[in-house]
C-alpha cells in the first residue's frame, strides 16, 4: 500500500530527488547521443584494414 504524506517537511527531499532524476536522465541521453554520433567512426576504424567501405571517396562501379 502506498503511503501518502502531506507533510511539508518532505518537500525539499522530494524536490532534490526530482532534480537528481532529471540530471540522471539528461546525462544518460547525452552519453547515448555521443555514442550514436561516434559509432560510425568506431566501425570504420575497425574495418579500415580489410575494406574500403568506410572511406568517403569510394567509387562504386
Residue-level pLDDT at 58: 52
- Distance, in Å, from the CA atom of 34 to the CA atom of 50, rounded to the nearest integer, reads 26
The pTM assigned to this predicted structure is: 0.56
Number of compact structural domains in the chain: 1
pLDDT score recorded for residue 52? 55
pLDDT tens digits, 1-60: 777 778 889 889 889 999 999 999 999 999 999 988 888 777 666 555 555 555 555 555
Q: Which domain does 21 fall in, by range?
A: 10-47
In a domain, 23, yes or no: yes
User: Could you tell me if residue 58 is inside a domain?
Assistant: no
40 belongs to a structural domain: yes
Residue 57 in any domain: the answer is no
* Count of all residues that appear for the chain in the document: 61
Task: Give the pLDDT confidence score for residue 46 in this predicted structure.
Answer: 57
Residue 17, domain member (yes or no): yes
Indicate whether 35 belongs to any domain.
yes
Amino acid at each position: 500500500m502506498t503511503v501518502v504524506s502531506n507533510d511539508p517537511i518532505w518537500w525539499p527531499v522530494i524536490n532534490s530527488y526530482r532534480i537528481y532524476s532529471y540530471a540522471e536522465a539528461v546525462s544518460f541521453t547525452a552519453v547515448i547521443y555521443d555514442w550514436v554520433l561516434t559509432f560510425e567512426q568506431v566501425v570504420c576504424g575497425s574495418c579500415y584494414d580489410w575494406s574500403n567501405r568506410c572511406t568517403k571517396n569510394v567509387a562504386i562501379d
